[in-house]
């Protein structure tokens, strides 16, 4: 009793302590992304096995270990599977202080929606940990929580603490070892406040531009590209209401974090907590799946390693030397070799002379003779017949590889795929029993969060055409099965196609090592880049020492460019709405208000609108220049009135011409050969006046030869115009 | 000992300092605690044993006056050559004019208006240790404005004024970004490739370029030759060298020496680092690239090093480049930075020359200076002010936070506050001056 009293009086002046709330966590069991397709079409990402346990178990085990008492598991895609799993697992049964409660939603399309759902449920009553169900960590949250709470006491606007870790991205590929893009952060070294966050850096920009106001309150800031975002956040309850207030926030980082940092009206602040010796990482793509699996096997995540029972993995794994883990019942041929950093699951049989290195093999797999498995992940109940060769592949449950199959690096075989004899699956292929969803019937919402991630999925179902890429061995005996198969003879499955752009980037997020040619390419481009940027530096005008207020220092162009690019995009989006049927008059209003908010001139409006129109002309299919010209003509007549609205004076008309020239040189080179023809058209349709065209030509007189390409092209027309005007004067 | 040549850029008759400067008193000879400001730099250099100096002065007349004063004051102590350059050539122009005199490996360039106790030898040593092409002295920018004098104009300026935006590596030895002049007030634009090379960049707004640089001579001469539009060391040459450090374009003779230098191998080292990051995941490429690139001249990235020497916070560092700075420095040299003045202070923490005469009930407060031959009447009061030689000051005169130069006459009942009164000025009875600069011309 006395003790209790003492305790009370100690903390009585601390309201936080008086109203002590259990530490809560929100675990998002849906990444709202599509990077693990096709596997995630059949099973949610959080239930995919990582080394020998589903990812969500690692996250839950970690949450329990850091003292979380209530974890809300938010399930959306495949929610039933997640719930079933949780119900069966010991997480729901165990009586202890850690309770797991699933929250189901069927219409959430982003982390933002998920948090709004949770807000509406009203279950969060204090600071909470926000993680996704694919987070692997062994860090202690004590310090970070303490820091967060203390900051909150002093400053109620400090709503979030983000966990970060040192990780330097490669200077060649600009991605981290987890396959994530490089992240730029600016952090106040004293307060650890996050001042700037950019995870999708535009590689073509050579400069990072930081608002000068960042240095207004602090004399020093640290700009980092060597920190990794662990995606572990300690949030105050306000975070949930912020998501509700800003219903357009979808992505945790791209919308929420950046939104908070940019908005200085509300003054909310985000802080960082750096961990040094402990582990924290998130599985975002196949490359991080590979990296983190290796980290687990190499015990960086201790105690979350295969041979320690930290949750229901009922592990009796034995660790041999060289990082080889073996379940008790492995039927291994005496001549089979298991090399360093591998794990073999229970009930798996390995045939003679097979070699396994750097790989994880699940339970009850059957591996034939002379099989070579290198750097691969084989899940449960997989049958691999004799003489197969697998390198850096991911093979899901129930896959059957017949004799002599070769999986090249980066191959993903989804559940129950069967591959016929001696088939070579080319690098980076993804094979699934399910057809590739077309753009229309794919969960568009699911892709939302990832819309600009650069991984473009092909809109069409791949069919026989694609199987031709797979080299069937001509003398295959099982010819009779061929018509039932998509993956070679006696095989079952679709090979998903990746569009050109997608394939380009495929290597970034693959399990396969980065190909040597790619590195060479980067190396060489690094050199040429430097050449280019040298010119850029030289072109900076010099400024004078004695004129302190000289305005002649070089960078203005870049800033303008950024703003005007944004503006252009906005105008284009607005124009798209006209195409979608919005009344053009409203659009004129909208464009005008855009002009005011971006502080642009009428001429900029005219240029941007013209650009949008031309782009829409370009979007219609065409096979020849003639057709393009026709399309352009049609579009221009259609939008003439709209465009005329912006062309009040000759200045705007000239701007349109300059813009057109720039487009022909840069963004839409397709128009370059048609410049003169379109110019003629613009004149005939009364969009551009004679005066405007002639003064444009005059303006260009003194320009560089390279600038005069289009004037030259249009010379006959200009000549005709001049003569015509002279005639009139006479 | 150290192969360093020193160039002191002593300026001319800077318009910014009007009306304090004049034909008779060029900037270099403006008094700070009754000594020409240039003497502070010269003695600072002398203390680091840098005695071979070239002093560059703008304008023939000014050069003659400065030269005359130096030969009188330092005849046996320093070996000084005074060079005159036309006005408004800028600091880069001034150096171009004396470039043919430079022969040493490294050149130390100091502004003649620097009042500081940071040893130039330390800057030079840092420069040598890193094999840098340029090393610049950075010191803490004054945080608060002038003291209670608080002219409103001054306050506004202090709020706004930021001297430089500086980017440093985590060890704070490499200078990776610098914005000077008008750029300081704009958004900060950092080169990505430089950030990528270091991983972490410390961006600071609390440091200022103190206008003391050590340059590798060949590099300096090359840049001055090739970039004939460069006008200023601080705003052109230094930022140029900083931003090109990862892809140096300094001509071969300037650079190869750097690369031969053990410290200068940043480029090839970088290359190996790049590669080794990928050794694990792409072993074949690693070998190939290693063979392809490291030091073959056309492939190797040429780099050079720009370094910074950051003076500790306790050091004093100020440039006399504005009227405000003139008042501040004069105040500091008899106040918080009194060790710079070279005088010994009385127990009242002031300096009153024995030949000065004080009337009855006249008080001279702490942090004041009254030079030889000056006379003051009765019931005067002097606070935080400097009074020059042979001044005649009447009774009931109050002088606060001001500088009074030589041969000034102030009659009874005057009040002088926060002002500068140049030599030979005559103030009649009951003049009230507040935040003024008075000159006879």
Domain of A215, CATH number, reads 3.90.550.10
Q: Where are the beta strands (DSSP E) in A179-219?
A: 184-187, 194-198, 207-210
Whether residues A279 and A191 share a domain: the answer is yes
Task: Report the distance separating Cα A429 and Cα A506, nearest Å.
Answer: 10
Nearest chain B residue to A177, by CA:
B277
- Any domain includes A250: yes
Torsion of CA A495, A496, A498, A504, to 10 degrees: -60
Query: Mutation test of the interface with chain B: which of A212, A534, A560, choosing the one with the most B Cβ atoms within 10 A?
Result: A212
* Residues in A touching B238 (Cβ below 8 Å): none
Question: Structure tokens of B366?
Answer: 């702490």
Examine the pLDDT at A441 and tell me if it is beyond 60. Answer: no
Whether residues A265 and A324 share a domain: the answer is no
A264 CA: distance to closest CA in chain B (Å): 16
Task: Report the distance separating Cα A307 and Cα A327, nearest Å.
Answer: 9
| Nearest residue to A433 (alpha-carbon basis) of A418, A412, A411 | A418
| Nearest residue to A408 (alpha-carbon basis) of A383, A387, A426 | A426
The predicted structure's pLDDT at residue A657: 82
B182 contacts A542? CB cut-off 8 A: no
Of the candidates A209, A219, A513, the beta carbon closest to that of B282 is on: A513
Give the pLDDT mean for A431-444.
Answer: 64
A555 contacts B181? CB cut-off 8 A: no
Helix (H) or strand (E) holding A73, with range, is: strand A70-75
Examine the pLDDT at B160 and tell me if it is beyond 80. Answer: no
* Cβ contacts of A146-152, under 8 Å, gap ≥ 24: A147/A192, A147/A271, A147/A273, A148/A234, A148/A236, A148/A271, A148/A273, A149/A16, A151/A271, A152/A127, A152/A236
A170 contacts B277? CB cut-off 8 A: yes
pLDDT-based confidence at B191, cuts 50/70/90?
confident
The predicted structure's pLDDT at residue A312: 56
Task: Report the distance separating Cα B21 and Cα B24, nearest Å.
Answer: 8
**Is residue B236 less than 8 Å (CB to CB) from chain A?**
yes
The predicted structure's pLDDT at residue A532: 47
Q: B50 near B107, Cβ under 8 Å?
A: no
Q: How many domains does chain A have?
A: 3
A509 CA: distance to closest CA in chain B (Å): 13
Of the candidates B165, B189, B202, the beta carbon closest to that of A555 is on: B189
- Any domain includes A6: no
Give the pLDDT mean for A576-595.
Answer: 75
pLDDT: which is higher, A717 or A120? A120
Query: CA geometry: angle at B320 spanning B314 and B324, to 5°?
Result: 95
Nearest chain B residue to A553, by CA:
B183
Give the pLDDT mean for A479-485.
Answer: 35
Nearest chain B residue to A550, by CA:
B182
Q: Where are the beta strands (DSSP E) in B60-206?
A: 79-85, 106-111, 114-116, 134-140, 165-168, 175-179, 188-191, 200-204
Percent of chain A with pLDDT over 90: 25
B70 CA: distance to closest CA in chain A (Å): 26
Helix (H) or strand (E) holding B420, with range, is: strand B420-421
Q: Is the peptide bond before A303 cis (omega within 30 degrees of 0)?
A: yes
Whether residues A279 and A338 share a domain: the answer is no
Task: Report the distance separating Cα A523 and Cα A298, nearest Å.
Answer: 31
| Nearest residue to A393 (alpha-carbon basis) of A368, A362, A363, A359 | A359
A221 CA: distance to closest CA in chain B (Å): 5
The residue length of chain A stands at 730
Whether residues A376 and A430 share a domain: the answer is yes
Query: Mutation test of the interface with chain B: which of A542, A550, A559, choosing the one with the most B Cβ atoms within 10 A?
Result: A542
Q: A319 near A338, Cβ under 8 Å?
A: no
| Nearest residue to A578 (alpha-carbon basis) of A590, A587, A565 | A587
Whether residues A654 and A705 share a domain: the answer is yes
Task: Report the distance separating Cα B161 and Cα B432, nearest Å.
Answer: 30
Whether residues A63 and A189 share a domain: the answer is yes
- Any domain includes A116: yes
Give the pLDDT mean for B301-313.
Answer: 86
Instruction: State the residue for tokens 């990505």.
Output: B192
Nearest chain A residue to B250, by CA:
A534
Query: Mutation test of the interface with chain A: which of B94, B192, B197, B324, choosing the one with the most A Cβ atoms within 10 A?
Result: B192
* Residues in A touching B201 (Cβ below 8 Å): 222-224
Task: Report the distance separating Cα A221 and Cα A219, nearest Å.
Answer: 7
pLDDT-based confidence at A106, cuts 50/70/90?
confident
Nearest chain A residue to B193, by CA:
A206
CATH number of domain containing A350: 2.160.10.10
Examine the pLDDT at B361 and tell me if it is beyond 60. Answer: yes
Instruction: State the residue for tokens 């539009």.
Output: B229
* Residues in A touching B284 (Cβ below 8 Å): 516
Of the candidates B189, B247, B292, the beta carbon closest to that of A534 is on: B247
A209 contacts B189? CB cut-off 8 A: yes
Whether residues A118 and A245 share a domain: the answer is yes
Which of the listed residues A237, A267, A287 is the one where a domain comes to its end?
A: A287
A297 CA: distance to closest CA in chain B (Å): 17
| Nearest residue to B28 (alpha-carbon basis) of B385, B415, B321 | B321
Q: Where are the beta strands (DSSP E) in A403-490?
A: 406-407, 412-413, 418-419, 424-425, 430-432
- Any domain includes A573: yes
Whether residues A479 and A581 share a domain: the answer is no
pLDDT mean across residues, chain A:
78
Examine the pLDDT at B208 and tell me if it is beyond 70. Answer: yes
> How many Cα atoms are found within 13 Å in the side-chain-facing hemisphere of B23?
3
* Residues in A touching B281 (Cβ below 8 Å): 513-514
Whether residues A679 and A578 share a domain: the answer is yes
Task: Report the distance separating Cα B368 and Cα A370, nearest Å.
Answer: 95
- Any domain includes A505: no
- Any domain includes A542: no
**A253 DSSP assignment:** I
> How many Cα atoms are found within 13 Å in the side-chain-facing hemisphere of A309?
8
B200 contacts A172? CB cut-off 8 A: no
The predicted structure's pLDDT at residue B296: 42
Q: A388 near A368, Cβ under 8 Å?
A: yes
B88 contacts A221? CB cut-off 8 A: no
Of the candidates B203, B243, B289, the beta carbon closest to that of A220 is on: B203
Helix (H) or strand (E) holding A637, with range, is: helix A625-646
Question: Structure tokens of A373?
Answer: 């498995």
The predicted structure's pLDDT at residue B262: 37
The predicted structure's pLDDT at residue B36: 93
Examine the pLDDT at B186 and tell me if it is beyond 50. Answer: yes
Q: B21 near B438, Cβ under 8 Å?
A: no
A520 contacts B285? CB cut-off 8 A: yes
Map residue A83 onto helix, strand or coil. helix
Separation of CA A490 from chain center: 37
Examine the pLDDT at A369 and tell me if it is beyond 90. Answer: yes
Instruction: State the residue for tokens 């019942």.
Output: A329
Of the candidates A171, A206, A516, the beta carbon closest to that of B191 is on: A206
Nearest chain A residue to B91, by CA:
A545
Nearest chain B residue to A287, by CA:
B281
Tens of pLDDT, residue by residue over B370-392, are: 999 999 999 999 999 999 999 99
| Nearest residue to A179 (alpha-carbon basis) of A580, A513, A407 | A513
Task: Report the distance separating Cα B40 and Cα B38, nearest Å.
Answer: 5
A-proximal residues of B, 73-112, CB under 8 Å:
88, 90-92
Beta-carbon pairs below 8 A across chains A and B: 174
Query: Mutation test of the interface with chain A: which of B85, B141, B270, B277, choosing the one with the most A Cβ atoms within 10 A?
Result: B277
Map residue A557 onto helix, strand or coil. helix
Instruction: State the residue for tokens 């572990």.
Output: A232
Give the pLDDT mean for A287-306.
Answer: 90
A-proximal residues of B, 290-329, CB under 8 Å:
292-293, 299, 301
- Any domain includes A293: no
B231 contacts A546? CB cut-off 8 A: yes
Q: Where are the beta strands (DSSP E) in A147-192?
A: 158-166, 184-187
B219 CA: distance to closest CA in chain A (Å): 17
A537 contacts B282? CB cut-off 8 A: no
Map residue A576 onto helix, strand or coil. helix
**A540 DSSP assignment:** S
* Cβ contacts of A245-250, under 8 Å, gap ≥ 24: A247/A112, A247/A116, A248/A112, A249/A112, A250/A109, A250/A110, A250/A111, A250/A112, A250/A113, A250/A448, A250/A449
Tens of pLDDT, residue by residue over A324-340, are: 998 888 899 999 999 99
Examine the pLDDT at A489 and tell me if it is beyond 50. Answer: yes
Question: Structure tokens of A257?
Answer: 């974090």
Examine the pLDDT at A417 and tell me if it is beyond 60. Answer: yes
Bridge partners of residue B207, in order along the sequence: B140
Of the candidates A537, A542, A555, the beta carbon closest to that of B236 is on: A542
Task: Report the distance separating Cα A418 and Cα A399, nearest Å.
Answer: 6
**Is residue B372 less than 8 Å (CB to CB) from chain A?**
no
Of the candidates A182, A515, A534, the beta carbon closest to that of B282 is on: A515
Give, rounded to a whole angstrom, the gap between the first and last alpha carbons of chain A: 112
Which of the listed residues A236, A269, A287 is the one where a domain comes to its end?
A: A287
Question: Structure tokens of A329?
Answer: 């019942």
pLDDT-based confidence at B299, cuts 50/70/90?
very low
- Any domain includes A379: yes
Task: Report the distance separating Cα A237 and Cα A249, nearest Å.
Answer: 16
Q: B275 near B282, Cβ under 8 Å?
A: no
Task: Report the distance separating Cα B397 and Cα B390, nearest Å.
Answer: 16
Helix (H) or strand (E) holding A694, with range, is: helix A690-700
The predicted structure's pLDDT at residue B38: 94
pLDDT-based confidence at A343, cuts 50/70/90?
very high
Tens of pLDDT, residue by residue over B107-126, are: 999 999 999 999 999 999 99
A-proximal residues of B, 116-175, CB under 8 Å:
162, 165, 167
Whether residues A95 and A207 share a domain: the answer is yes
Task: Report the distance separating Cα A196 and Cα A146, nearest Å.
Answer: 23
Whether residues A426 and A566 share a domain: the answer is no
Whether residues A495 and A598 share a domain: the answer is no
Helix (H) or strand (E) holding B409, with range, is: strand B409-410
Q: What is the pTM of this model?
A: 0.71
| Nearest residue to B47 (alpha-carbon basis) of B130, B119, B123, B152 | B119
CATH number of domain containing A611: 1.25.40.180
**Is residue B400 less than 8 Å (CB to CB) from chain A?**
no
Nearest chain B residue to A554, by CA:
B183
| Nearest residue to B203 (alpha-carbon basis) of B191, B216, B213, B193 | B191
The predicted structure's pLDDT at residue A17: 52
Range of the domain at A78: 20-287
B289 contacts A520? CB cut-off 8 A: yes
Task: Report the distance separating Cα A403 and Cα A385, nearest Å.
Answer: 5
Examine the pLDDT at A597 and tell me if it is beyond 80. Answer: no
Examine the pLDDT at A565 and tell me if it is beyond 90. Answer: no
Which of the listed residues A472, A499, A526 is the one where a domain comes to its end?
A: A499
B214 C-beta neighbours (distance < 10 Å), count: 27
* Residues in B touching A514 (Cβ below 8 Å): 278, 281-282, 285
Question: Structure tokens of A346?
Answer: 């229970």
* Residues in A touching B231 (Cβ below 8 Å): 542-546
Examine the pLDDT at A476 and tell me if it is beyond 50. Answer: no
Q: A416 near A470, Cβ under 8 Å?
A: no
Task: Report the distance separating Cα B433 and Cα B441, nearest Å.
Answer: 17
pLDDT mean across residues, chain B:
82
Examine the pLDDT at A401 and tell me if it is beyond 70. Answer: yes
């Amino acid at each position: 009793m006395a003790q209790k009293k003492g305790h009370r009086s100690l903390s009585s002046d601390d309201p936080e302590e008086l109203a002590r709330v259990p530490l809560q966590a929100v675990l998002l069991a849906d990444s709202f992304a599509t990077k693990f397709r096709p596997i995630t079409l059949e099973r949610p990402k959080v239930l995919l096995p990582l080394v020998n346990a589903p990812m969500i178990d690692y996250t839950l085990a970690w949450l329990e270990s850091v003292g979380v008492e209530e974890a809300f598991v938010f399930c959306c895609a495949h929610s039933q599977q997640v719930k079933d799993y949780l119900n069966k697992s010991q997480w729901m049964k165990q009586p202890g202080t850690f309770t797991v409660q699933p929250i189901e939603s069927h219409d959430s399309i982003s982390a933002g929606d998920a948090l709004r759902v949770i807000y509406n449920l009203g279950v969060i009553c204090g600071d909470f940990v926000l993680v996704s169900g694919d987070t692997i960590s062994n860090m202690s949250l004590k310090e970070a929580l303490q820091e967060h709470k203390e900051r909150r006491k002093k400053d109620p606007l400090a709503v979030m603490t983000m966990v970060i870790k040192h990780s330097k991205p490669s200077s060649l590929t600009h991605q981290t070892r987890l396959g994530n893009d490089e992240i730029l952060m600016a952090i106040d070294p004293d307060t650890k406040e996050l001042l700037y966050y950019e995870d999708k850096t535009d590689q073509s920009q050579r400069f990072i531009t930081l608002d000068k106001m960042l240095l207004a309150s602090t004399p020093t800031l640290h700009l980092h590209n060597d920190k990794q975002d662990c995606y572990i956040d300690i949030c105050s309850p306000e975070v949930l209401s912020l998501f509700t207030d800003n219903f357009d926030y979808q992505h945790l980082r791209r919308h929420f974090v950046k939104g908070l940092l940019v908005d200085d009206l509300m003054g909310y602040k985000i802080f960082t907590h750096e961990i040094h010796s402990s582990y924290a990482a998130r599985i975002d793509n196949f490359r991080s799946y590979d990296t983190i699996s290796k980290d687990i096997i190499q015990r960086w995540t201790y105690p979350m390693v295969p041979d320690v029972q930290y949750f229901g993995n009922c592990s009796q794994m034995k660790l041999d030397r060289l990082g080889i883990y073996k379940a008790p019942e492995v039927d291994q041929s005496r001549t089979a070799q298991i090399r360093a950093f591998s794990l073999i699951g229970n009930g798996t049989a390995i045939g003679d002379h097979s070699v396994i290195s750097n790989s994880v093999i699940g339970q009850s797999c059957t591996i034939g003779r002379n099989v070579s498995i290198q750097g691969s992940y084989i899940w449960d109940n997989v049958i691999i017949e004799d003489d197969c060769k697998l390198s850096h592949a991911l093979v899901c449950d129930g896959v059957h590889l017949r004799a002599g199959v070769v999986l090249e690096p980066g191959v993903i075989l989804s559940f129950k795929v069967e591959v016929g004899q001696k088939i070579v699956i080319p690098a980076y292929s993804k094979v699934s029993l399910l057809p590739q969803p077309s753009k229309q019937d794919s969960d568009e919402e699911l892709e939302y969060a990832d819309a600009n991630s650069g991984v473009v999925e092909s809109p069409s179902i791949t069919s026989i055409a694609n199987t031709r890429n797979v080299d069937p061995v001509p003398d295959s005996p099982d010819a009779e099965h061929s018509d039932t198969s998509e993956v070679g003879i006696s095989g079952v499955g679709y090979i998903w196609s990746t569009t050109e752009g997608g394939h380009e980037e495929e290597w970034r997020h693959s399990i396969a090592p980065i190909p040597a040619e790619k590195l060479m390419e980067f190396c060489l481009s690094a050199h040429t880049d430097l050449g280019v940027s040298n010119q850029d530096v030289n072109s900076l005008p010099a400024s004078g020492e004695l004129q302190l207020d000289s305005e002649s220092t070089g960078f203005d162009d870049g800033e303008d460019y950024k703003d005007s690019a944004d503006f252009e995009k906005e105008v284009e989006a607005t124009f798209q709405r006209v195409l979608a049927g919005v009344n053009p008059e409203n659009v004129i209003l909208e464009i005008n208000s855009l002009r005011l908010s971006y502080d642009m001139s009428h001429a900029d409006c005219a240029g941007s609108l013209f650009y949008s129109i031309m782009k829409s002309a370009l979007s219609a299919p065409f096979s020849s220049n003639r057709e393009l010209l026709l399309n352009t003509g049609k579009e221009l007549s259609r939008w003439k009135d709209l465009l005329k609205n912006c062309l009040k004076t000759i200045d705007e008309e000239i701007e349109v011409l300059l813009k057109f020239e720039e487009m022909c040189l840069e963004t839409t080179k397709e128009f370059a050969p048609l410049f003169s023809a379109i110019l003629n058209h613009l004149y005939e349709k009364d969009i551009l006046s004679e005066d405007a065209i002639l003064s444009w030509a005059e303006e260009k007189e003194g320009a560089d030869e390279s600038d005069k390409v289009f004037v030259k092209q249009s010379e006959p027309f200009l000549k005709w115009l001049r003569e015509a005007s002279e005639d009139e004067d006479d | 000992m150290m192969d360093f040549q020193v160039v002191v850029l002593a300026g001319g008759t800077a318009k910014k300092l009007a009306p304090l400067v004049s034909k008779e008193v060029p900037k270099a000879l403006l008094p700070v605690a009754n000594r020409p400001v240039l003497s502070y730099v010269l003695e600072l250099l002398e203390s680091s044993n840098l005695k071979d100096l070239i002093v560059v002065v703008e304008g023939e007349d000014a050069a003659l006056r400065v030269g005359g004063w130096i030969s009188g004051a330092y005849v046996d102590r320093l070996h000084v050559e005074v060079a005159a350059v036309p006005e408004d050539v800028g600091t880069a122009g001034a150096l171009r004019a004396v470039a043919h005199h430079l022969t040493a490996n490294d050149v130390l360039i100091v502004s003649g208006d620097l009042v500081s106790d940071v040893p130039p030898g330390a800057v030079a040593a840092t420069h040598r240790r890193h094999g840098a092409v340029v090393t610049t002295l950075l010191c803490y920018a004054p945080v608060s404005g002038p003291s209670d004098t608080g002219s409103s104009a001054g306050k506004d300026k202090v709020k706004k004024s930021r001297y430089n935006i500086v980017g440093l590596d985590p060890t704070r030895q490499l200078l990776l970004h610098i914005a000077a002049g008008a750029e300081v007030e704009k958004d900060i634009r950092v080169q990505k490739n430089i950030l990528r090379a270091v991983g972490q960049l410390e961006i600071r707004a609390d440091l200022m370029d103190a206008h003391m640089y050590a340059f590798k001579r060949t590099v300096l001469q090359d840049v001055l030759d090739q970039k004939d539009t460069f006008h200023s060391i601080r705003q052109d040459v230094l930022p140029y060298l900083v931003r090109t450090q990862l892809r140096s374009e300094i001509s071969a003779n300037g650079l190869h020496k750097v690369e031969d230098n053990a410290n200068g191998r940043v480029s090839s080292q970088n290359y190996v680092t790049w590669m080794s990051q990928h050794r694990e995941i792409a072993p074949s490429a690693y070998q190939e690239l290693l063979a392809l690139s490291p030091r073959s001249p056309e492939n190797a990235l040429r780099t050079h090093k720009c370094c910074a020497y950051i003076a500790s916070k306790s050091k004093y560092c100020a440039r006399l480049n504005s009227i405000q700075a003139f008042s501040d420095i004069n105040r500091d040299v008899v106040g918080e930075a009194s060790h710079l003045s070279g005088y010994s202070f009385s127990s009242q923490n002031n300096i009153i020359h024995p030949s000065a005469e004080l009337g009855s009930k006249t008080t001279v407060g702490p942090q004041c200076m009254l030079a030889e031959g000056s006379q003051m009447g009765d019931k005067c009061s002097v606070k935080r002010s400097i009074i020059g030689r042979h001044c005649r000051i009447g009774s009931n005169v109050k002088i606060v936070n001001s500088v009074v130069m030589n041969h000034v006459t102030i009659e009874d009942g005057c009040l002088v506050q926060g002002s500068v009164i140049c030599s030979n000025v005559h103030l009649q009875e009951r003049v009230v001056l507040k935040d003024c600069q008075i000159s006879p011309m």
